[in-house]
Chains A and B, each alone.
Chain A
Amino acid sequence: MTVGSQVKQTLAGLKGVRATLKICAAQSEEEDSKTVFTDATGITESVSKDLEERVKVLEFQEPQYKGH
């Protein structure tokens, strides 16, 4: 497995985490936990943006693996 596809896997995992966090934020009635989950969604979003940038660079370096 190339570095590019590894990072892509992590990115996919992180996106799953973000989606679940969003559900948690929507489900919780308590104001306190709602804010915590919403903040957490924001943080995972910023991390996954950085990773997306990195994936682009890696795809450029390993063009033969593009799309995997």
Chain B
Amino acid sequence: MPEWINGKPTTLIKQGKVMEENLAQVRLNGEELLRELRAKDVFRLADVEFAIMEPTGAVNVMLKADKKPLTPHDIGKQVSPQTEPQTVILDGNVMDESLANMGLNKNWLETQLAGIGVSLDNVFIGQIDTTGDLYIDLYDDAIQMPQPKVKELLYANLEKCQADLLTYALETKDKGAKAMYDKNSEKLEQLIKILKPYLLR
């Protein structure tokens, strides 16, 4: 639509400085500007690089580069694409289509439920996330549900194995065996360090 119907956007803050004339143009005082910024979760004027008022009256804010939220890209971390979670159980009914979307079937779901000892008609909502972990909410809130903990368990097991090896290294009188235990416990220690960010999120 043409500019003369909608009007044009007005710059309110540029390079961190408030443009007082422009503010007067859109009949906004300092108090109101601060209120608009707070509506955007910005409480410190010092954090704002650029702010603009759209013709609709909405104020949009760009933060200074060092005040922007950190993204995985900023720290050079690769992340896997996360798809939306699929709701596979609703009111105790299995949603076959959502299951099929994840490449799973009813048998898989039954095995999972049997594994945690829950019957289907007791489940209010069940969701599967990208990693294939099933989260369920039961009608009966008194029952404590075990949440998926495979990776935490794996980490704990690794630590236990490493501690065991250390103990054997101390206990054995055979020099060759001691060296072997020491070497392997060091290997596992390195491994634990590498795996930590992947297992404990």
Contact = CB atoms under 8 A, between A and B. Distances in A.
Interface residues of B, number: 32
B194 A36 contact: yes
Nearest to B181: A54
B132 A43 contact: no
Given A10-B164, A28-B80, A36-B194, A47 B154 contact: no
Interface in B120-146: 130-132
A2 to B, nearest CB: 12
A20 B154 contact: yes
Given A3-B168, A10-B161, A13-B157, A40 B191 contact: yes
Chain B, interface SS category: helix
A17 B198 contact: no
Contact of A27 (B132, B157, B165, B168): B132
Interface of A: 3, 6-7, 9-10, 13-14, 16-17, 20-21, 24, 27-33, 36-37, 39-40, 43-44, 46-47, 50-51, 53-54, 57
24 contacts: A3-B168, A3-B171, A7-B168, A10-B161, A13-B164, A20-B150, A20-B153, A20-B154, A21-B154, A24-B198, A29-B81, A29-B130, A30-B80, A37-B198, A39-B194, A40-B195, A43-B188, A43-B190, A43-B191, A46-B187, A47-B161, A47-B165, A51-B184, A53-B180
